[in-house]
Amino acid sequence: MNKFDYLIPTSIQEAISLHESHGEQSNYIAGGTDVMVKIKQGKINPLVLISLTRLKGLDHIIYEKGELRIGAMVTHRMLELSPVIRKEFPILIDAVENIGSVQVRNVATIGGNIVNGVPSADGAIPLLTLGAQVRTVGPEGERTVALEDFFVGAGKTCLKSGEILSEFVVPELPAHSGAAYWKHTRRGAMELAILGVGVLISLKDDMKTCAEARIGLGVLAPTPMRAKKAEAILKGKKVDEETLKEAGSTAAQECKARDSIRGKAWYRRGMVELFVRRMGTVAMERAS
């Protein structure tokens, strides 16, 4: 493995100024399950790693007045075991309990998962579906970006040099909302998804008509994406087998599925169609 120095700052400001002084040769590291692997595989070659593990105020899970705030350094295992997440945001549980293995989840952070920027990020799709926002802090101060706008290309985010992702904020969801996520894999564990589908449905007071729908897709485009056309299909309509089917086929058309060693585009499109329908049904059940 390449030689690098390992720095462990104890405040965000210290971390940012360390990054400023080392510049392009440095890399932030959270749990390390992505960064360490990338270094071992020669994909990145930093001379300095700046750890985020001792920074304070980044490991909270707060659900207050309908708004959910998750610190970037929260591990997937913390999310998996959080009673409030399990009760109020089961779509996140759908995702995190299927990430890697217990060993990985104990260490890997939700922030690191999103910053890694890969289209298969299981943490990203549910957050995208929930309409999350990302808060960052960097040399130029703090800013908030919609998660939708956070991913700019395969493996690329809009994080500026030196910026640290600090928190996810899920604004209060509309009334009667339910959401579900499906990770499609070949085996029962240790899988990078063939594709991921997250569906959120908010019902009108009649509990049958869709007030708003959000559909997040993973591994079906260079970045995690929202299937806006498919969402529009559901909006204002009665949610039933037929509308879900239509939404599914629209999502299949608007996604940019590609061939890779993990799956072929035609199969992915077929599964998008199927799982928009299946997850839409689960989302409906959870909304009730």
List residues binding another protein (CB under 8 A). 1-6, 8, 29, 32-33, 36-37, 40-41, 49, 51, 53, 77, 97, 100-104, 106-107, 184, 186-192, 261-264, 267, 270-271, 274
Shortest distance, position 131 Cβ to another protein, whole Å: 28
Residue recorded with tokens 């706008």: 149
The DSSP element (H or E) to which 71 belongs, if any, is strand 67-71
Q: Which residue lies nearer to another protein by CB, 49 or 132?
A: 49
Q: Which residue lies nearer to another protein by CB, 51 or 250?
A: 51
- The DSSP string of 142-193 is EEEEEHHHHEEETTEESPPTT-EEEEEEEPPPPSSEEEEEEEE-SSSSS---
Task: Calculate the alpha carbon distances from 218 to 11, 226, 249, 269, 273 in Å.
Answer: 33, 9, 16, 12, 13
Shortest distance, position 146 Cβ to another protein, whole Å: 30
Shortest distance, position 249 Cβ to another protein, whole Å: 14
Shortest distance, position 106 Cβ to another protein, whole Å: 4
- 255 close to 217: Cβ distance less than 8 angstroms: yes
Shortest distance, position 170 Cβ to another protein, whole Å: 26
**Among 170, 164, 133, 168, residue whose Cα is nearest residue 55:** 164
Q: Which residue lies nearer to another protein by CB, 34 or 148?
A: 34
On the 0-12 / 13-18 / 19+ scale of CB atoms within 10 A, 265 is middle
Q: Which residue lies nearer to another protein by CB, 192 or 211?
A: 192
| Separation between Cα atoms, residue 41 and residue 190, nearest integer Å | 18
Q: Which residue lies nearer to another protein by CB, 54 or 208?
A: 54
Q: Which residue lies nearer to another protein by CB, 148 or 273?
A: 273
Shortest distance, position 169 Cβ to another protein, whole Å: 27
Shortest distance, position 189 Cβ to another protein, whole Å: 4
Q: Residue 224 CB: number of other CB atoms within 10 A?
A: 30
Q: Which residue lies nearer to another protein by CB, 103 or 161?
A: 103
Q: Residue 245 CB: number of other CB atoms within 10 A?
A: 16
Displacement of CA 43 from its chain's centroid (Å): 22
**Is residue 206 classed as helix, strand or coil in its secondary structure?**
coil
